[in-house]
């Protein structure tokens, strides 16, 4: 029993030291850097330690938000694992919104990506114009290796009004998670061996509790690694399409003498004066009511005094 307690104490100390080391390395966090289209993932340096890679001809994968990713070939990634995102604003010609939206869908499918969501709506123009301006946002995921090619193809859909690309290098976080996972799995193997040597119920329960905590930690680490795998293998792109509106119509006035303008100004001033008078009455009205009530009370009290006959 004493030997088992000492072993549990040693394993618990090692687990605490490993957790402290993992949290210290994780505090550095990923580095956020704004990148242009030219700074791609393929830098010819080869894959880093523990970097995720997707082989050619891989089977269908599970998408980060659920569902199934396309089963077509995904180009292998080179260089450090980087999470890349892009937001684009594109102006398309009037009356071509539906066509351009379909072109974007076709482009995404051609690059081996998948549509995550689409939101299109019609914004009314001026009241004297029956037409409306169509706008829409389409969110999709494309293989990270096809990210730059996708952005270049999108720039040909219409006139790019805004472009924002970000990249987050997660190499250190990826290596740290794998090291912590290996350590946790080694601890669980040691606990399983120790469980086989337990002799009484209390020892078995104590070891099983330790195994349960380590197993939960292992599952959490695996989930974080899968999140990095999904977000470094596929990049998120959001495109806002806006249909160009009709040009503003110029209005010319035929009142060269200014007579109609003068009448219009006079009517406007007349209505404004009435508004001021009504507003003033609304503000002074309560005071006038109080003054009238006070006057009536004063008159009612004075009448009995005036009607009383004067004694000789």
Is the model's pLDDT at 202 over the cut of 70? yes
On whether the CB atoms of residues 226 and 121 are closer than 8 A, the answer is no
Q: What is the pLDDT of residues 295-306, one digit of tens each?
A: 788 878 776 655
CA distances to 126, 199, 211, 258 from 206, rounded to whole Å, are 74, 12, 9, 97
Quick check: is 249 in a domain?
A: no
In a domain, 262, yes or no: no
**Number of domains the chain is built from:** 1
pLDDT in the model for residue 61: 45
Question: Would the pTM count as exceeding 0.75?
Answer: no
Do the bridges between strand 114-124 and strand 31-34 make them parallel or antiparallel, or are there none, so unpaired?
unpaired
Tell me if 79 is assigned to some domain.
Answer: yes
- The least confident of 26-40, 66-80, 110-124 is 26-40
Query: What percentage of the chain's residues is helix, strand, coil (to nearest 5)?
Result: 50, 20, 30
pLDDT at 79 exceeding the cut of 80: no
Q: What is the mean pLDDT of residues 1-26?
A: 51
Predicted confidence at residue 256, as pLDDT, reads 60
Per the domain annotation, does 180 fall within a domain? yes
Q: For residue 113, which phi and psi values (nearest 5 degrees)?
A: -100, -170
The residue segments making up the domain with residue 137 are 2-243
> Is 132 or 275 the better-scoring residue by pLDDT?
275
The yes-or-no verdict on residue 59 having pLDDT over 80 is no
- Confidence check: pLDDT of 53 > 80: no
* DSSP-assigned states of every residue in 138-150: EEEEEEGGGHHHH
Q: What is the mean pLDDT of residues 13-40?
A: 45
Do 78 and 42 contact (CB within 8 A), yes or no? Answer: yes
Per-residue pLDDT tens over the stretch 141-179: 999 999 999 999 998 999 999 999 998 888 899 899 999
Q: Which of 83-97, 219-233, 263-277 has the lowest mean pLDDT?
A: 263-277
Task: Summarize pLDDT for 138-148 with one digit per residue, the tens.
Answer: 999 999 999 99
Instruction: Give SS3 for 270.
Output: helix
Number of other residues whose CB lies within 10 A of the CB of residue 231: 21
Asked if pLDDT for residue 26 goes beyond 50, the answer is: no
């Amino acid at each position: 029993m004493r030997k088992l307690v000492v072993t549990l104490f040693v394993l618990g100390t090692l687990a605490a030291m490993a957790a402290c080391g993992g949290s210290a390395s994780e505090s550095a966090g990923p580095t956020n850097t704004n990148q242009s289209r030219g700074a791609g993932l393929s830098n010819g340096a080869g894959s880093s330690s523990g970097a995720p890679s997707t082989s050619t001809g891989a089977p269908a994968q599970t998408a980060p938000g659920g569902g199934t990713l396309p089963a077509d070939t995904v180009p292998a990634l080179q260089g450090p694992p980087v999470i890349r995102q892009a937001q684009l604003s594109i102006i398309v010609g009037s009356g071509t919104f539906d066509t351009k939206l379909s072109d974007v869908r076709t482009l995404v499918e051609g690059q081996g990506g998948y549509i995550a969501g689409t939101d299109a709506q019609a914004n009314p123009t001026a009241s004297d114009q029956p037409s409306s301006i169509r706008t829409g946002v389409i969110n999709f995921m494309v293989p990270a290796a096809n990210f730059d090619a996708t952005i270049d193809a999108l720039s040909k859909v219409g006139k790019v009004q805004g472009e924002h690309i970000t990249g987050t290098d997660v190499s250190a976080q990826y290596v740290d998670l794998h090291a912590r996972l290996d350590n946790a799995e080694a601890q669980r193997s040691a606990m399983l061996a120790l469980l086989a040597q337990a002799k009484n119920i209390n020892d078995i329960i104590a070891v099983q509790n330790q195994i349960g905590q380590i197993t939960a930690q292992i599952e959490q680490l695996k989930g974080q690694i899968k999140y990095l795998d999904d977000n470094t293998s596929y990049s998120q792109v959001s495109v806002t399409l806006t249909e160009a509106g009709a040009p503003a119509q110029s209005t010319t006035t035929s009142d060269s003498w200014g007579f109609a303008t003068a009448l219009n100004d006079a009517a406007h001033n007349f209505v404004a004066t009435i508004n001021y008078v009504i507003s003033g009455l609304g503000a002074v009205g309560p005071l006038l009511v109080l003054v009238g009530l006070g006057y009536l009370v004063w008159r009612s009290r004075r009448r009995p005094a005036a009607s009383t006959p004067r004694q000789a």
